[in-house]
């Protein structure tokens, strides 16, 4: 287990985005909590510091929590490949998909417990009685009971889910429930994912960080320079590009993306449909590919972009899904292959990676998030903040985020490729609708999914927890 070093956010850039009034309200609430905590710490425990939604969320929130006076910390658990394969299977089943064909039986339980025990021993070195420990997701869930034994208040936060339970979710819960049902409180991203038995449940949607490299403003010039220099678009001369985020050091973008495509990179002028996601069956990149081709809008181009499959420590299946997707692409007729690129974005430098994601999203004419199941779908929030018109499956948190026809278009049945194609075509061919939905999307994020609202929700939860010594 190791501690992630994340520093303290400067508040001025947040004041510029949120306005003084919103920031003052947040500081006031945080002050009350800091007084109630009285020197006790708020630990967050998860399974990776890079890649995926949980890491993204913690990077966005914790430096700001510190800046307003909460002693927030972040620990990442250790595990061997077998443990991560079990945890991945568990997460996939909780999403409602079978995942790999292996079981979640007594042998897996034994191994999960063994790794949990090792992490538990490490946790005891950090956590003191009275601290608050927020355990994120299924991988470290076994630490809920450990934290309680250490005298801490243990909160389990779930980030994934399936709207309607099925045999796979039941399989997942049969494994996981025992580890989380004694938590002092549980937190869900959306009401739809809360099981009946959840102890002291709270609904807290996540937020994005508007000042982070992923979401900061970029000029049109910067967007094009970044995309050309990394090889997402054609016309680059290989020269690195430097951008200056409102928080932290300047960022040099220079690494090339790994691209699977036919012919040269597309020019900046083509209308671009984009999905940015992990390479995972539930993100349905292949479905996006087929829906895009079926939309059949002349001159348009599709970019499917995901983190480099070598770069995400807790996701052993990514390479397999990327390869599957490449095979689907390779089997297309040449004229179709010429309209689609599959990109792996380098993960060596996370801030550089974030700037590339930012530029890809900003450049998109239409953003798609055609997930078959979704926890919340931060990629959608990110694109909406950039004022992009979005087609999103009506599942999980995507359904909360997108008000159909106001802040994007919802795809009722995420498996319906014909309907997905129709929505993509609508946005590509109706610029006025696309503009209106893009503006609505930006407003929606401003009102609901920025860090001040998120931290206020946590301040309430932690405040009530420490006030009563139990949530």
Q: Which stretches of the chain bind ligand UDP, using CB under 6 A?
A: 52-53, 56, 214, 276, 278, 306-307, 345, 353-354, 357, 375-379, 382
DSSP 255-315: PPPEEE-SSSPPPTTS-EEEEE--S-GGG-HHHHHHHHHHH--TT-EEEEEEE-TTS-TT-
Would you say 150 or 273 has its CB closer to ligand UDP? 273
Closest distance to ligand UDP from the beta carbon of 369 (Å)? 7
CB of 234 to ligand UDP, least distance (A): 21
d(CA 125, CA 75): 12
Helices marked H in 364-450: 378-385, 396-401, 417-429, 431-448
Q: Which residue is nearest to ligand UDP (CB)?
A: 53
DSSP letters, 226-253, are HHHHTTSSS---S--EEE--SSSS-EEE
Q: How many helices (H) and strands (E) does the chain have?
A: 17, 16
Taking the least distance from each CB to ligand UDP, the nearer of 62 and 146 is: 62
Q: Which is nearer to ligand UDP, 60 or 70 (CB)?
A: 60
Please enumerate in sequence order all residues whose Cβ is within 8 A of that of 183, keeping only pairs 6 or more positions apart, or say none.
Answer: 135, 144, 148, 154, 155, 156, 199, 200
Identify which of residues 208 and 417 has a Cβ nearer to ligand UDP in the complex: 208
Strand-pair partners of 241: 253
CA distance 312 to 137: 16
Residue 314 contacts by C-beta under 8 Å, 6 or more apart in sequence? Answer: 47, 48, 51, 52, 84, 87, 88, 139
Output 227 or 466, the one with its CB closest to ligand UDP: 227
Q: Which is nearer to ligand UDP, 153 or 379 (CB)?
A: 379
Identify the residue whose tokens are 């339970």.
165
Tokens of 15: 């004041």
* Smallest separation (angstroms) from ligand UDP to the CB of 156: 17
In whole angstroms, the minimum distance from the beta carbon of 374 to ligand UDP comes to 7
Q: Would you say 131 or 400 has its CB closer to ligand UDP?
A: 400
Picking from 290, 400, 303, 289, the residue whose alpha carbon sits closest to that of residue 344 is 303
**What CA–CA distance (Å, rounded) separates 343 from 345?**
6
CB 302 within 8 A of CB 292: yes
| Shorter beta-carbon distance to ligand UDP: residue 365 or 393 | 393
Q: How far is the CB of 382 from ligand UDP (least distance, A)?
A: 6
Look up residue 358 and give its two tokens. Answer: 């930012």
Q: How far is the CB of 304 from ligand UDP (least distance, A)?
A: 11
- Nearest to ligand UDP of 24, 348 (CB atom): 348
Give the shortest CB-69-to-ligand UDP separation in angstroms. Answer: 26
Tell me which H or E stretch contains 410. strand 409-411
Q: Quote the least distance from Cβ 454 to ligand UDP, whole Å.
A: 14
Q: What minimum distance in Å lies between the beta carbon of 258 and ligand UDP?
A: 11
Distances, alpha carbon 91 to alpha carbons 40, 175, 371, in Å: 31, 11, 15
């Amino acid at each position: 287990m190791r501690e992630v070093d994340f520093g303290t956010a400067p508040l001025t850039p947040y004041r510029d985005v949120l306005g003084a009034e919103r920031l003052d309200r947040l500081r006031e609430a945080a002050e009350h909590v800091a007084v109630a905590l009285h020197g006790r710490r708020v630990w967050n425990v998860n399974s990776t510091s890079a890649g995926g939604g949980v890491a993204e969320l913690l990077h966005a929130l914790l430096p700001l929590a510190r800046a307003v006076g909460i002693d927030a910390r972040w620990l990442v658990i250790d595990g061997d490949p077998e443990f991560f394969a079990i945890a991945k299977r568990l997460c996939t089943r909780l999403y409602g998909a079978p995942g790999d064909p292996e079981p979640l039986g007594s042998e897996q339980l034994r191994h999960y417990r063994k790794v949990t025990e090792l992490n538990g021993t490490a946790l005891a070195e950090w956590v003191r009685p009275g601290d608050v420990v927020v355990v994120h997701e299924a991988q470290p869930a076994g630490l809920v009971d450990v934290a309680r034994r250490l005298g801490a208040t243990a909160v389990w936060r779930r980030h994934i889910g399936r709207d309607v339970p099925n045999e796979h979710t039941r399989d997942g819960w049969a494994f996981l429930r025992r580890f989380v049902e004694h938590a002092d409180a549980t937190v869900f991203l959306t009401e739809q994912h809360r099981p009946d038995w959840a102890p002291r449940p709270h609904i807290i949607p996540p937020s994005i960080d508007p000042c982070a490299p992923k979401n900061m403003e970029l000029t049109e010039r910067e967007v094009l320079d970044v995309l050309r220099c990394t090889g997402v678009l054609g016309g680059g001369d290989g020269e690195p590009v430097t951008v200056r985020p409102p928080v932290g050091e300047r960022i040099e973008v220079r690494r090339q993306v790994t691209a699977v495509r036919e012919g040269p990179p597309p020019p900046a002028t083509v209308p671009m449909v984009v999905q940015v996601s992990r390479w995972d069956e539930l993100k349905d990149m292949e479905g996006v590919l087929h829906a895009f081709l079926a939309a059949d809008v002349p001159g348009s181009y599709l970019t499917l972009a995901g983190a480099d499959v070598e770069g995400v420590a807790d996701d052993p299946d990514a390479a397999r899904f990327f390869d599957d997707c490449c095979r689907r692409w390779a089997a297309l007729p040449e004229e179709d292959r010429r309209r689609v690129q599959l990109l792996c974005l380098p993960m060596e430098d996370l801030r550089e990676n974030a700037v590339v994601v930012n530029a890809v999203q900003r450049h998109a004419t239409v953003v798609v998030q055609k997930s078959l199941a979704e926890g919340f779908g931060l990629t959608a929030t990110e694109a909406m903040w950039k004022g992009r018109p979005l087609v999103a499956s009506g599942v999980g948190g995507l359904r909360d985020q997108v008000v159909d026809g106001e802040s994007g278009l919802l795809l009722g049945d995420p498996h319906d490729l014909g309907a997905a194609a129709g929505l993509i075509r609508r946005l590509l061919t109706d610029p006025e609708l696309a503009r209106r939905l893009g503006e609505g999307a930006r407003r929606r994020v401003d009102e609901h999914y920025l860090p001040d609202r998120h931290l206020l929700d946590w301040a309430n939860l932690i405040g009530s927890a420490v006030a009563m010594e139990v949530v």
